[in-house]
Amino acid sequence: MTVSSSTLAPAPARDGEDPARMRRRPFPRPGNSSIAIGATILGTITLIALAAPWLGLADPYDSNLAIRHVPPVWDSVGSWQHPLGTDHLGRDYLSRLVYGARISLLVGMVVTVMAGCIGTTLGVLAGYFGGRIEAAIDFVITVRLAMPLVLIALAVVNVVGSSLEIVILVLGLLLWERFAVVARSTTQQIRSQEYVAAARAVGCSTPRIILLEILPNIYGPLIVVATLEIAHAILLEAALSFLGLGVPAPLPSWGLMIAEGKDVMYFSPWVITIPGAALFVLILSINLLGDGLRDLNAIEGRN
Amino acid sequence: MLEFLLRRVVLALAVAFAVSIIAFSLLRLSGDLAQELAGANATALDVQLLREAYGLDRPLWAQYLQWAGQVLRGDLGRSVFFDEPVADLLAARLPVTMRLGAFALVLALVVAIPLGILAAMRPGTWVDRIALGTALVGQAMPTFWFALLLIVVFGVKLRWLPVSGNDSWRHFILPAVTLAYFAMPALMRLTRAGMLEVMSADYIRTARAKGLRPSSIILKHALRNAIIPVVSVAAVQLGFMLGGSIVVESIFALHGVGYLGWISVQRADFPVVQAIVLVLSLVFVMLTLLADLLNAKLDPRMRGSRR
């Protein structure tokens, strides 16, 4: 697959194509605009989440059974007092939504950092040393891929007891395989480069070579993996919470909010559409950012 | 070829073995199963009795060896809740999950491949944008939320389709659509990328120069090569769908393996959970093996180069 992309680079190959195709050839790479859009949305969500305590919102845990299931402001009976309405315990939905963003972002970040450390370490070791170490690590990766992720996570969370920390820990220990695969293949590609050989010839120690020569040169693709894994972790946390074995109530996890609204979704669909749409927009922005970064990396890689 | 096959089968068994050890120890190390089984109101004596009844008081390795020995003899143990052999429970539910997975995969491929080809034929145009946009939306859509939206729209508002149970094939439509939309983006992007790459290859230029019809160039020459990576990803996706169907099955009350897994986790029915983890990992490994074999068939170059 990678072989053919380098063979199509020479100019003569392009002369044979019809002019209409030629004109279209440098078709707009979505790279930069998708980074801009993704980063803007993600940045806005992050800022709002960070500033949540100072936004003058209602207490996300303050329930009032007298005002259950108040519809959002765009509904005829809605009011600005609760712009997005209230949930089944009369808690302010907007406030829960904003505080829920904190949970999603926290899960995404911490899980990705944990998984990134595990996966990158394994991948770099496999790619750098090759041979038996690589075979062993390959086996570990295959085992991890074969494990039914959701079921294992559910089972562990159920026995240990659900809490935000446990969910983060379990996902962090499970979501490293893409980092490992990418770190391994990129390390393999650069392990025989001159600068690595030079470092070895000067007598640099192996840890030094890995930390100072290998890692700085593979972090581009790893950043791309990291953005996509943040999205993956956020989606999984939401799914686990939705199934009732993730972040426990009364924490305002978006997945949990959807689960809590499920019973009344026929009568007041906004109870599930609002947190679901928030989740969708957050994941979309992260994916846009990741896709854009990947395109940038691909362009750099070609030179 | 035979050696390659043999090697892969051994690897598959080794992976399943490793997964079984992990699943086994995770369930036992992460908490007190006997306490979990007995519930919150149980006395210490109840817990102790349960612990002895299920052999949970013995050392971990002894428990594992006993379980593994039983599994090798085809005995997956007895469900704590149903008081039935786990093998029977699985045999009744595996076909449901398989049908769902197959249905969803076919649906995903039927959409992904033509869309990917169309997008690659006209890169940068509105066709391409629609294809990429659909993929982007699909990747960002939380599966469980999409499932609920489908239920509200097609099951409740329009009343077109049943939303719960698995009595007829119509019950499978919404769950399959949900899973298919989850699998489609990766397959579509891969088809598109493969076609883009292949279409600028020399042999396509030759085929064009020969004056072959575009449809024959695309389908016979280009697609055959572009589809190779799609095959392996499709197999992996099917594996993920079988594992990920836990969410979808629980929402649509589709009584497959995923649903069984979900309720068994909640009931601490650990013989069932263990067996499902084992079976799903075996299926996954077998699917990747199948993909490799299919690839070897599609692409003769890969037969020799495999380690």
Task: For residue range B230-241, list pLDDT tens digits in order.
Answer: 888 888 888 888
Length of chain B: 307
> Residue A131: left (phi > 0), alpha (psi -120 to 50), or beta?
left
User: Strands (DSSP E) along chain B, which ranges?
Assistant: none
Q: How many CB pairs under 8 A join A and B?
A: 160
pLDDT number for residue B121:
86
Would you tell me the crossing angle of helices B143-150 and A254-261 to the nearest 10 degrees?
20
Is A30 within 8 Å of chain B by CB?
yes
Report mean pLDDT in 10-residue bins for chain A, 303 residues: 36 41 47 85 93 83 79 77 80 89 94 96 92 91 89 86 91 93 90 86 87 87 91 93 88 90 83 92 93 77 43
Contacts of A255 in chain B (CB under 8 A): 142, 144
How close B290 comes to chain A (CA, Å)? 14
- Residues of chain A numbered 109-148 and touching chain B (CB < 8 Å): 139, 142-143, 145-148
| C-alpha span between A159 and B266 (Å, rounded) | 9
How close B228 comes to chain A (CA, Å)? 10
How close A154 comes to chain B (CA, Å)? 7
pTM assigned to the model: 0.86
Q: Give the residue-averaged pLDDT of B85-93.
A: 88
B31 SS3 class: coil
Q: Tens digit of pLDDT for each residue in B58-78?
A: 777 888 888 888 888 878 878
CB contact under 8 A, B26 and A156: yes
Tokens (6 digits) for B97: 């999950």
Tell whether the torsion through CA atoms of A4, B122, B227 and B98 is positive or negative.
Answer: positive
HEC string of B221-282 equals HHHHHHHHHHHHHHHHHHHHHHHHHHHHHHHHCCCCHHHHHHHHHHCCCHHHHHHHHHHHHH
How close B113 comes to chain A (CA, Å)? 18
Mutate to test the interface with B, among A33, A34, A145, A171 (most CBs of B within 10 A): A145
Contacts of B151 in chain A (CB under 8 A): 265
Tokens (6 digits) for B146: 């999409």
CB contact under 8 A, B145 and A151: no
Q: Give the residue-averaged pLDDT of B112-127.
A: 88
Contacts of B243 in chain A (CB under 8 A): 148-151
Please state, as a whole number, how many other Cβ atoms lie within 10 Å of the Cβ of residue A61: 14
| C-alpha span between B193 and B88 (Å, rounded) | 44
pLDDT number for residue B306:
44
Query: Which residue of B152, B243, B265 is in closest CB contact with A266?
Result: B152
pLDDT number for residue A226:
93
How close B119 comes to chain A (CA, Å)? 12
Of B107 and B299, the structure prediction assigns the larger pLDDT to: B107
B201 SS3 class: coil
pLDDT number for residue A183:
93
pLDDT number for residue A103:
93
Alpha helix stretches (DSSP H) within A16-130:
19-24, 31-50, 93-129
pLDDT at B200 over 60: yes
CB contact under 8 A, B26 and A276: no
DSSP β-bridge partners for residue B85 = B78
pLDDT number for residue A300:
54
Mutate to test the interface with B, among A142, A241, A263 (most CBs of B within 10 A): A142
Contacts of B132 in chain A (CB under 8 A): 30
Query: Which residue of B27, B31, B243 is in closest CB contact with A148?
Result: B243
ipTM of the complex: 0.85
How close A83 comes to chain B (CA, Å)? 22
CB contact under 8 A, A27 and B124: yes
CB contact under 8 A, B31 and A149: no
CB contact under 8 A, B149 and A283: no
Contacts of B226 in chain A (CB under 8 A): none
How close A191 comes to chain B (CA, Å)? 20
CB contact under 8 A, A142 and B201: no
pLDDT at B50 over 80: no
pLDDT number for residue A180:
94
Residue A11, amino acid = A
Residue of A nearest to B39 (CA): A159
CA nearest to B293, candidates B228, B226, B245: B228
Tokens (6 digits) for A184: 């391994």
| C-alpha span between B77 and B172 (Å, rounded) | 30
pLDDT at B42 over 80: no
Tell me the pLDDT of chain B averaged across its residues: 83
CA nearest to B142, candidates A256, A290, A102: A256
Are B178 and B150 a contacting pair, CB within 8 Å? yes
| C-alpha span between B120 and B125 (Å, rounded) | 10
In sequence order, what are the residues at sequence separation of 6 or more whose Cβ sits closer than 8 angstroms to the Cβ of residue B258? A151, B97, B242, B243, B244, B245, B246, B247, B248, B249, B250
Is A267 within 8 Å of chain B by CB?
no
CB contact under 8 A, A147 and B11: no
Residue of B nearest to A240 (CA): B247
| C-alpha span between B104 and B173 (Å, rounded) | 9
Q: Give the residue-averaged pLDDT of B247-266.
A: 89
